Amino acid sequence: MTKSWGSSGRSRGAILDWLVRVNAQVSQWAASMSWWRLILLFVVILVAGSIIGETLGLKHERVREVRSGRDTVISIGGKDGIRITKTPRGAKDAVPAPPLPPRVGAPPEAPGGGDEAAAQTQEKAAEQAIEDAAQSVEKALSKALGDEEVVVRRQVVTFRGIVGDLGAAAMVILFAYLVASKIIVKKVAQADAKVRTAQDTAERETMERQLAQARLQVLQAQVEPHFLFNTLATVDYLIETDPPRASKMQKALITYLRGALPQMRQQSSTLGRELRLVTSYLDLIKMRIEERLEVEIAVPEALRSAEFPPMMLQTLVENAIKHGIEPKPDGGKVRVAASLQNGQIAVEVSDTGVGLPDGELLDGPTSGTGVGLQNIRDRLAMLYPGRSTLMLHSGAAGGTLVRITLPHRVATEPAAQGMPPEGKLA
């Protein structure tokens, strides 16, 4: 018994799977058709169904009754052909009329050897003759019987008529199914396309963020070897010649590294935090090149809590020292300033060094050819698309000026650990 139930369940499952596959294939086929082709298909099916119905006689019998006076009924059509019933008052028996030609739909006997086409032609001719005779009899009897007459038309349900009705309903259901399938499949395809587009966009944005983050980490990991080695060499030299100064320079280097190394692992920072790191860096440089470097910091206290990408300001200051101040025999001045303009924070790093080389583009958001500036441009484009700029100018008093503008947002994260307060060395 269990085996029988299991076999029956598997059979129903197989049939259901087959129906699902057929439905999917038909739906896809309907969706691939244009609307005018679908309508043309329905018209063709409708015409074919009408021809088949007429050929097979798939319709109900039609009967017309003429009631004249109170005791005469004339029935035309139906299984009895034409029938006249006269019921006298008080009598229940009907008096049938003389037999008339057979009813519509009964084909005459075809002679031996006649083909099917001739038989169908004779059948249609007989049906038309009976219909004409019925109309003539109806008019003649109605006129002869006189009195008040009432014409009643009714339909006699037949098996062929039921089959015809079912066929017509099936055609309508089929057309409605094809139309619904086309609409639903198209809507589902559009929804799937939107989902795929959204997924592709999300994946692309994720990859872009990961790429930007990777570039950021690479840039943050670039501790200037030239600067570090020169500083250590200077410390080693001062240990032998000027131990107090060597000790001070060593403490400044420790302060810088204590702030720089954890900062390289951060994904966000503040302008104040970056200024403290830059101040430590400039202290080291000033100890090494002494009176050749002058430093000015002009950043309002209210802007020091603003968000600022980590190590970006450090890169600008390093470029000013390396490409502006160090190549100039007399040295120069490095100035770091910040201001708030129309909801954006503008940070400037300027120097009075050797200035831009010949042929360098002086103005524009894509000025600058150094690797550090290129990385800064890419990071700004990723972090603030369409809302940030990097501009390189020739300074008014010689040298170079670099300006970064980005949206002003106050940071909510606490200050990074390991960075001492500004002005205090470890």
Q: Is the pLDDT of residue 324 over 80?
A: yes
CA 369, CA 361: separation in Å to the nearest integer?
9
Instruction: Give Dmax over CA atoms of the chain in angstroms.
Output: 152
What's residue 9's pLDDT? 66
What pLDDT sits at residue 93?
42
What is the set of domains in the chain, with CATH numbers?
13-58+159-204 (no CATH), 61-105+119-156 (no CATH), 221-407 (3.30.565.10)
- The predicted-structure confidence for 211-256, as pLDDT tens digits, reads as follows 767 766 676 565 556 677 878 888 888 888 888 888 888 888 888 8
Higher pLDDT, 78 or 134: 134
pLDDT band at 306 (very low <50, low <70, confident <90, very high): very high
Q: Identify which of 83, 79, 77, 80 has the alpha carbon closest to the alpha carbon of residue 95.
A: 83
Residue in this structure with the two tokens 């019933």, named with its chain if needed: 85
The DSSP symbol for 292 reads: G
Measured CA to CA, the distance from residue 288 to residue 426 in angstroms comes to 19
Could you tell me where the beta strands, DSSP code E, fall in 293-385? 293-298, 332-341, 344-351
Q: Is 69 left (phi over 0), alpha (psi -120 to 50) or beta?
A: left
Element (H, E) at 204: helix 159-220
**Tokens 């070897």 — which residue?**
225
**CA-atom Rg of the chain in angstroms:** 50
pLDDT value at 204 more than 50: yes
What is the pLDDT, as a whole number, of residue 240?
Answer: 87
Residue 104, pLDDT above cutoff 50: no
Contact by Cβ (8 Å): 350, 320 = yes
Average pLDDT value for residue range 193-202 = 89
Quickly list DSSP for 64-77.
EEEEETTTEEEEES
Average pLDDT over residues 79-85: 57
From 204-218, 253-267, 356-370, the region with the lowest mean pLDDT: 356-370
Please state the rounded mean pLDDT for residues 109-135. 65
Contact 142, 66 (CB under 8 A): yes
Q: Distance between the two ends of the chain, CA-based, in angstroms? A: 88
Measured between alpha carbons, how far is 392 from 373 in angstroms, rounded to an integer?
A: 9
Cβ–Cβ under 8 Å, residues 216 and 222: no
With cut-offs at 50, 70 and 90, classify the pLDDT of residue 423. very low
Question: Which H or E run includes 47?
Answer: helix 35-56
More confident residue, 236 or 72: 236
Q: What one-letter code names the amino acid at 148?
A: E
Q: What mean pLDDT, rounded, does the chain reach?
A: 75
Question: How do residues 265-299 score in pLDDT, each as one tens digit?
Answer: 666 789 999 998 898 889 888 888 878 899 999 99
Distance from chain centroid for Cα 295: 54
The total of other beta-carbon atoms located within 10 Å of residue 203's CB is: 10
Dist CA 110 CA 120 (whole Å): 10
The 3 state secondary structure assigned to 133-144 is HHHHHHHHHHHH
Token pair listed for 32: 């691939």
Tokens at residue 298, please? Answer: 């002009």
Instruction: pLDDT band for 308, please (50, 70, 90 cuts).
Output: very high
C-alpha to C-alpha distance for 333 and 353, rounded to whole angstroms: 7
Most confident option among 141-155, 369-383, 407-421: 369-383
Distance CA 33, CA 183 (A): 11
- Residues 106, 57 contacting (CB under 8 angstroms): no
What is d(CA 65, CA 75) in angstroms, rounded to the nearest whole number?
A: 4
pLDDT score for 424: 40
pLDDT digits (tens, 9 = 90+) for 365-412: 434 445 578 878 888 888 888 899 999 888 776 789 999 999 999 977
Could you give phi then psi for residue 278, rounded to 5 degrees? -65, -35
> What is the predicted pLDDT for the residue at 95?
42
> Which helix (H) or strand (E) covers residue 153, if one does?
strand 149-156
